[in-house]
A and B are shown apart, each in its own frame.
Chain A
């Protein structure tokens, strides 16, 4: 979880895409997943997700995300298959319609969840924010909120880990507890975590202000994000993907 949003440096095709193109890619895959009604097309989209992960040079991460999603997917599949009442029964109370719907739901879930995480892994958040400001003219305030939020996630986890370690050192048996019991032990930690987070957010605001936060304009960014040939091709592919999704 800690590495989930960590940037993986590299020079892959996906790395070199304009951050906006990468966002477009994500949006296109999600849109295609919702537009289409074909199980095979959804499988194809999932394969595209995996392909993106492999081309981006983060196969391990791709598979670990897939593995994590499979657990949730299995649960959802079961629930959906058992609750759908339409169609011919296949065995017990499960119907063919139920299986089909369940399959589509979980595939859609997996297809939609993967690209953003993958794209974020190969894009510096700051590049994304700067590109949003420069190209899409998103106000810097919002871009900063986005980057800070994503940056805070690993920090939260780190801090949570620290608090738990500190409590373990003083005899709280986090390592032995499981399930609901562990959850019950973790919940009281939210107060110190919240307090330290608010404090940190405040300090970061001061630090940002002390380095000219209010002076920043859309032109401040040192890096430029031009659209190149590969971005054009990627955008074209995105459009084709959605069109196909609509046709099939």
Chain B
């Protein structure tokens, strides 16, 4: 599980902290969505969980982050990354190879996955992300969305216990975005992977995330079960989070919150009859 205690972090050279007094507990098997306006520290939070902060970004670090009991400050990044798979926001910089297949192999080889296991791991990741056809393609010939899928597949293949994804659908079309979230759901439900996903597309989070955390100016201002967080649409709107229309509708009707179209339809039908 991920345990963050009173974490405050200021990047070197910055005056104001990027994260302020964050306390967050993400139990094993959680599917947490992090949402909030731009520049509120979501990416910094992701980096703190995957250990890239403080290992790679210098700054003032107060508080404590543990992942499965490992303190991210004391544990080398290499050891942490066996446990936590990170998909960066900037896909370009994550890619280390020239060909799709090699990109997937990279982590598998490094972490010493037994060679007889590698083909099935690769096949699994490629198939789940839906890029089997791209296997032998040169990465420089791929579109932004395809590269994003490659980056995700290369992390999925490593089968981390915890997945941290920073806007994994930023360059994807709506259909592919749903596909990625369905994959995250499968990994979460069937394989027990703890998922922490930073995402702007609120509808996706509503549908797939079990828990939500809303960030504003370096703080977590709301956190809890997705439904419970969404119930307060006014507060979310005030923070600049664009609530789904179904949530607003149920709120206006003074009814229990709906998180998807089916629920809203049921609600309206019930009210009419």
Contact = CB atoms under 8 A, between A and B. Distances in A.
A124 interface: yes
B93 A9 contact: no
A204 to B, nearest CB: 5
Interface residues on chain B, size class: 35 or more
A17 B181 CA distance: 42
Contacts of A147: 96-98
B148 to A, nearest CB: 14
A67 interface: no
Contacts of B154: 211
Nearest to B88: A207
Contact of A207 (B78, B94, B109, B141): B94
B50 interface: yes
A215 interface: yes
Interface in B7-59: 50, 52, 56
Contacts, number: 92
Nearest to A9: B136
Nearest to A209: B77
A154 interface: yes
A155 B98 contact: no
B140 interface: yes
A206 B52 contact: yes
Interface string A4-40: 0011010000000000000000000000000000000
A210 B111 CA distance: 10
A158 B92 CA distance: 12
A211 B107 contact: yes
B141 to A, nearest CB: 7
Contact of A210 (B77, B105, B118, B136): B77
A216 to B, nearest CB: 5
A147 B96 CA distance: 9
Interface string B52-79: 1000100000000000000000000110
B102 interface: yes
B269 interface: no
A213 interface: yes
A203 B109 contact: no
A203 B97 contact: no
Given A155-B92, A155-B140, A206-B52, A211 B110 contact: yes
Contact of A215 (B52, B78, B115): B78
A214 interface: yes
Contacts of A200: 92-93
Contacts of B88: 203, 207
Greatest chain A CB density within 10 A among B90, B93, B95, B108 is at B93
Greatest chain A CB density within 10 A among B90, B110, B158 is at B110
Contact of B158 (A125, A155, A204, A211): A211
B81 A210 contact: yes
Contacts of A203: 88, 90, 93-94
B103 to A, nearest CB: 9
Contacts of B136: 9
B97 to A, nearest CB: 5
B96 to A, nearest CB: 5
Interface in B127-168: 136, 138, 140-141, 154, 158
Given A124-B102, A126-B98, A208-B106, 13 more contacts: A151-B96, A203-B90, A207-B88, A207-B96, A209-B78, A210-B77, A211-B81, A211-B110, A211-B158, A213-B78, A215-B110, A216-B109, A221-B109
6 nearest interchain CB pairs? A212-B110, A203-B93, A211-B107, A126-B102, A207-B94, A220-B109
Interface of A: 6-7, 9, 124-126, 147-148, 150-151, 154-155, 158, 199-200, 203-204, 206-216, 220-223
16 contacts: A7-B98, A9-B136, A126-B97, A151-B97, A158-B140, A200-B92, A200-B93, A203-B93, A206-B93, A207-B93, A212-B81, A212-B82, A212-B111, A213-B110, A215-B78, A222-B105
